[in-house]
């Protein structure tokens, strides 16, 4: 049984108030809160083991190295990676995708090649490919999104073809709450002789992920959205591909031999981990995935599916004229909406006065905003510690906000 009261007790920040009102944290797509287990792992690391890794032979260096490598193994296990050598620590999803666009894209893309993305991408799975296309002469193509927030898969079948070298798509949308059929996209990509990259920033924290069954070649995610610290994330890639790729950053640790005029590279994953890494961050992320595993990702998914669907229902039934973007059912806990007559920024401001943390803006998806015909939306995004009561508080606060603005209309 999913014991929500017990889960909430693990998150100290959920006990705080905002202007005398209990905090309702609904900005989880931006970043998640951290359980005591992760905070303790960080403190413990700094209080007992802190040292730089892979270099020293003293006790602390050995302990820190072991903790860092254990964290790598935990994260690899969490996403079903077949081996730990394919798991590269990065700063997060953005850096992971840049690593591939740089290390694979610039080396392999040529004039006339195509990279297929979707219209729903976060800027971090769009801009790196724009830069790679600019430098190589490759062309970007886009799978359209239908009005119901799902991808037009018939168009995907037409777009992915002999010129395609890479298909890169978001797994779960940070605006629409849609879970995209990335398994099918991977099949189409491989059928065309292309590779598949999955932006897992909004899936790894919320659904069971197994890179083997997704069939992808690269999977990118951020620690801070899945209960871990900021500044740590990961890229999983097929080891054979990572070996062939160019390094992304050069410097200490990523080399085998350095001469004055050239260098050779360390084995993967170290070839991609230049300089001093975020060791404590990795340790914290390791504790975060252990926490997620202790809850069970199927349970997390089910809890959030219920909250997302309940929020969709309550908001659409009680707030006449509201537009909720994305599919009605089978959504994640991301609920973006537009309440006519109230600007999303004003809405977030009023919600904040009720202690409710939400987000409004373009959510780093400007092309998708244009496709939706808006410049911004309001967004409530739920996570494993949110409750139905919090959905009710959101619905009530929105009704109040509408009255408030109605008074001045």
CB of 403 to ligand PLP, least distance (A): 32
Handedness of CA 252, 257, 261, 265 (dihedral sign): negative
Tell me which residue of 86, 81, 84, 304 sits closest to 213, measured CA to CA. 81
- Helix, strand or coil for residue 248? coil
Neighbouring residues of 131: CB distance < 8 A, sequence distance ≥ 6 = 101
CB of 219 to ligand PLP, least distance (A): 12
Neighbouring residues of 370: CB distance < 8 A, sequence distance ≥ 6 = none
Q: Is 94 in the site for ligand PLP (CB under 6 A)?
A: yes
Beta strands 356-357 and 24-25, pairing class: parallel
Q: Is 124 in the site for ligand PLP (CB under 6 A)?
A: yes
Alpha helices in 137-215 (DSSP H): 153-159, 182-191, 211-214
Identify which of residues 65 and 98 has a Cβ nearer to ligand PLP in the complex. Answer: 98
CB of 392 to ligand PLP, least distance (A): 26
Q: Is 120 in the site for ligand PLP (CB under 6 A)?
A: no
Considering CB under 6 A, how many residues would be counted as binding ligand PLP? 14
**Residue matched to tokens 């590269």:** 88
CB of 161 to ligand PLP, least distance (A): 26
Identify which of residues 64 and 125 has a Cβ nearer to ligand PLP in the complex. Answer: 125
Alpha helices in 10-87 (DSSP H): 36-44, 59-78
The full DSSP string for 332-349 is: -SEEEEE-TTS-HHHHHH
Active-site residue list: 364
Neighbouring residues of 371: CB distance < 8 A, sequence distance ≥ 6 = 119, 144, 145
Q: Is 202 in the site for ligand PLP (CB under 6 A)?
A: yes
Q: Is 358 in the site for ligand PLP (CB under 6 A)?
A: no
Q: Is 222 in the site for ligand PLP (CB under 6 A)?
A: yes
Q: Which one among 28, 93, 118, 178 touches ligand PLP, defined by CB under 6 A?
A: 93
In angstroms, the CA 301 to CA 304 distance is 5
Listed ranges 181-189, 197-205, 274-282, 323-331: which one lies at the site for ligand PLP (CB under 6 A):
197-205
Identify which of residues 22 and 181 has a Cβ nearer to ligand PLP in the complex. Answer: 181
Q: Is 108 in the site for ligand PLP (CB under 6 A)?
A: no
CB of 9 to ligand PLP, least distance (A): 27
Q: Is 201 in the site for ligand PLP (CB under 6 A)?
A: yes
CB of 201 to ligand PLP, least distance (A): 3
Window 31-50: contact mask with ligand PLP (x via CB under 6 A) = --------------------
CB of 27 to ligand PLP, least distance (A): 11
In angstroms, the CA 173 to CA 169 distance is 10
Identify which of residues 64 and 348 has a Cβ nearer to ligand PLP in the complex. Answer: 348
Listed ranges 92-100, 272-280, 339-347, 376-384: which one lies at the site for ligand PLP (CB under 6 A):
92-100
Please state at what angle helix 279-295 crosses helix 59-78, rounded to 10 degrees: 40
**Residue matched to tokens 């408030």:** 404
**How many Å separate Cα 33 from the centre of its chain?**
14
Q: Is 331 in the site for ligand PLP (CB under 6 A)?
A: no
In angstroms, the CA 274 to CA 395 distance is 47
Listed ranges 40-48, 102-110, 122-130, 237-245: which one lies at the site for ligand PLP (CB under 6 A):
122-130
**Binding-site ranges for ligand PLP (CB under 6 A):** 29, 92-94, 122, 124-125, 170, 174, 199, 201-202, 222, 364
């Amino acid at each position: 049984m999913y014991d929500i009261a017990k889960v909430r007790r693990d998150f100290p920040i959920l006990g705080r108030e905002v202007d005398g009102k209990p905090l309702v944290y609904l900005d989880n797509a931006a970043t998640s809160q951290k359980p005591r287990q992760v905070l303790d792992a960080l403190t413990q690391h700094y209080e007992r083991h802190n040292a730089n890794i892979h270099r020293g032979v003293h006790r602390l260096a050995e302990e820190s190295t072991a903790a860092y490598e254990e964290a790598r193994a935990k994260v690899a296990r969490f996403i079903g990676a077949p081996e730990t050598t394919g798991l590269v620590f990065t700063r997060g999803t953005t850096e992971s995708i840049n690593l591939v666009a740089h290390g694979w894209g610039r080396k392999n893309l040529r004039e006339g090649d195509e990279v297929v993305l979707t219209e729903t991408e976060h800027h971090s799975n769009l801009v790196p490919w724009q830069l790679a296309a600019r430098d190589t002469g490759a062309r970007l193509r886009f799978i359209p999104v239908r009005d119901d927030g799902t991808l037009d898969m018939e168009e995907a079948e037409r777009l992915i073809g002999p010129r395609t070298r890479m298909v890169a798509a978001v797994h779960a949308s940070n605006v629409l709450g849609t879970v995209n059929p990335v398994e099918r996209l991977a099949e189409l990509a491989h059928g065309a002789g292309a590779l598949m990259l999955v932006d897992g920033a909004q899936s790894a924290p919320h659904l069971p992920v197994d890179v083997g069954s997704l069939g992808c070649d690269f999977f990118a995610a951020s620690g801070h959205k899945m209960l871990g610290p900021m500044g740590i994330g990961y890229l999983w890639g097929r080891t054979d591909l990572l070996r062939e790729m160019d390094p992304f950053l050069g410097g200490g640790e990523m080399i085998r031999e350095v001469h004055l005029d050239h260098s050779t590279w360390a084995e993967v994953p170290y070839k991609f981990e230049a300089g001093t890494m975020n060791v404590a961050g990795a340790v914290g992320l390791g504790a975060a995935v252990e926490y997620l595993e202790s809850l069970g990702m199927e349970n997390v998914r089910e809890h959030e599916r219920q909250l997302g669907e309940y929020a969709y229902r309550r908001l659409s039934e009680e707030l006449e004229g509201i537009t909720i973007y994305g599919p009605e059912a089978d959504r994640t806990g991301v609920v973006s909406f537009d309440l006519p007559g109230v600007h999303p920024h004003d809405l977030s401001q009023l919600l904040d006065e009720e202690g409710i943390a939400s987000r409004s803006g373009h959510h780093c998806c400007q092309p998708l905003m244009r496709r939706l015909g808006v410049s911004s939306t309001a967004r409530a995004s739920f996570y494993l510690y949110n409750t139905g009561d919090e959905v009710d508080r959101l619905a009530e606060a929105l009704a109040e906000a509408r009255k408030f603005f109605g008074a001045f209309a």
